[in-house]
Structure 1
């Protein structure tokens, strides 16, 4: 299973980076070094979805994210970049996932920076509802001003050792795997070691049990090759919005929502990179379960 997981991680990384490219079963299976028949079965075993279902879901979730936070991009540009052949095909697929059209989604989402939840109608249909996370945008901005130190600065390239987690419930076990590996390498515990979570999906558009999070450790130098479930990952150098504060785990969602809101209010756009968290302390060692965290959005 360990070797299977390592190959699937490689294919998932390729899919996420090439959503506008040829993502046929034959192409992806070749990247994972499998025959198409075996790859299809293994992919579903590990991810819980067929390859095609996964690809379509990722495209729609990415389009939803851009519709919500990249208002300057035309809808046509979004769906063409993601490989949809026409407006009608895109709209039909999007509505299947979220219950409303892309234009209605874009119009509703920014009004109070709602989060998406799924709610069952009386007739049994599933329709997305924009549930206010905080009643007014002003409250969120005030909260972030009081609880986060926000700045924009250049960060250097970061070399990571990572373990992929599918679903929020699997993040802690992934860190356990990573720390056990680091102990054998005499990399942990260390005074200046930093743990980092890299979010390859957004909770706004991806169900919590399907969100892909990389549990990572900052290294002094790049890993030469994968080792079991541990694989190398690089966070590219560049400008980031950084919100720093001492938080409990229950505060994290509010931190991210307010930080993305701050990004929009200050006319920044997210670049093609994944948001991440840098941990400077361990919440398990704090009497109130708090930890020092940098919430980082590449812009």
Structure 2
């Protein structure tokens, strides 16, 4: 009997993870609602007496802390990148009944008031604070990682205005803020003008000072001198493998890697001599993290 037990553990672990992944998805999609432990236990179809222990065992943090991190992560993103949203609206979407209670709790977590964070975000502190949230979501992403649907398409030649982030990816948020401000001044809203990223390097494999990432918007306006350093470039027409990613940015590689590891060897296709392109269809925090959608274009030889 003892020799047989290890054979069954992976199956049991997968079953638990499937049930608790439903809980993660429910939390992320309903951050403004009450998230009672008993309701979450029912979603997992798990004993209410032991639900909290099993959640912590699977994800490395308690469900209450996960809920707090998920709420404040979205609030921080809205404060940093959506200046048109009031603190009251952000507080309500974070499950707080008043901006005062939200501000007090936010400052306790971040060491900055919401208004201070909106002005000058402390990205280092935020990265450390939200790492357990990202780690937990990686666990659910790996569980669901499958071969994505791949299409071969022709990416059209596209002229884009670009802000290039060159340096530590931890501070790409500052570049995003400058790019958003420039787009607003030139009336280039995302629902009318497509948003792209050109991924020159993988942050997991590149020294921080060598990381390079382009923020782009499709436009034909004349680019004059500007303090943000915006320049124009043309993405050439490319034959690409296209896959759709749905979920937060930190799980993008879980969609990309199977294309290189499985699809290319199976089809005989090879990667071309141009960086990966992201076409942003919907973005967190405008939508909840599990619903953020990106079309990934991998150039082919």
TM-score (norm 1): 0.50
Residues 21 and 254 (structure 1), Cα distance of their counterparts in 2 relative to 1, 3 Å cut:
farther
Deviations 1:25-55, CA, capped at 9 Å, x for gaps:
0011111111222211111111111111111
- Please tell me whether residue 76 in structure 1 is matched to residue 115 in structure 2: no
Shift, 1:166, TM fit: 5.2
Shift, 1:97, TM fit: 1.6
Runs of 4+ in 1 over 4 A off after TM superposition: 168-171, 190-193, 251-254, 273-281, 283-288
Asked if structure 1 preserves the Cα contact closer than 8 Å seen for 2:59 and 2:136, the reply is no
CA RMSD of aligned residues (A): 4.7
Q: Secondary structure at the match of 2:49?
A: helix
2: distance between equivalents of 1:12 and 1:240? 33
- Please tell me whether residue 95 in structure 1 is matched to residue 63 in structure 2: no
| Corresponding residue for residue 34 of structure 1 | 46
Which structure shows the bigger proportion of residues in strand conformation?
A: 1
| Corresponding residue for residue 118 of structure 2 | 106
| Corresponding residue for residue 186 of structure 2 | none
Q: Secondary structure at the match of 1:100?
A: coil
Shift, 1:107, TM fit: 1.6
Q: Which runs of 5+ in 1 are unaligned?
A: 110-114, 120-125, 128-164, 194-202, 206-237, 266-272
Asked if structure 2 preserves the Cα contact closer than 8 Å seen for 1:11 and 1:28, the reply is yes
| Corresponding residue for residue 202 of structure 2 | 249
- Please tell me whether residue 118 in structure 1 is matched to residue 125 in structure 2: yes
Asked if structure 1 preserves the Cα contact closer than 8 Å seen for 2:201 and 2:212, the reply is no
| Corresponding residue for residue 241 of structure 2 | none
Q: Give the number of the structure whose alpha-carbon radius of gyration is greater.
A: 2
2: distance between equivalents of 1:191 and 1:87? 46
- Match of residue 44, structure 1, among 36, 42, 56: 56
Q: Secondary structure at the match of 1:36?
A: coil
Deviations 1:106-161, CA, capped at 9 Å, x for gaps:
1224xxxxx70039xxxxxx99xxxxxxxxxxxxxxxxxxxxxxxxxxxxxxxxxx
Which structure shows the bigger proportion of residues in helix conformation?
A: 2
Asked if structure 1 preserves the Cα contact closer than 8 Å seen for 2:197 and 2:277, the reply is yes
Alignment size in residue pairs: 191
Asked if structure 2 preserves the Cα contact closer than 8 Å seen for 1:246 and 1:293, the reply is yes
Q: Secondary structure at the match of 1:118?
A: helix
2: distance between equivalents of 1:37 and 1:95? 33
Q: How does 1:185-200 map to 2 (within 5 A)?
A: 192=152
- Match of residue 296, structure 1, among 277, 280, 299: 280
Shift, 1:96, TM fit: 1.8
- Please tell me whether residue 167 in structure 1 is matched to residue 167 in structure 2: no
Residues 296 and 287 (structure 1), Cα distance of their counterparts in 2 relative to 1, 3 Å cut:
closer
Q: Which runs of 5+ in 2 are unaligned?
A: 1-12, 154-169, 173-190, 220-227, 229-245, 265-269, 284-301
Asked if structure 1 preserves the Cα contact closer than 8 Å seen for 2:20 and 2:55, the reply is yes
TM-score (norm 2): 0.50
- Please tell me whether residue 7 in structure 1 is matched to residue 19 in structure 2: yes
| Corresponding residue for residue 217 of structure 1 | none
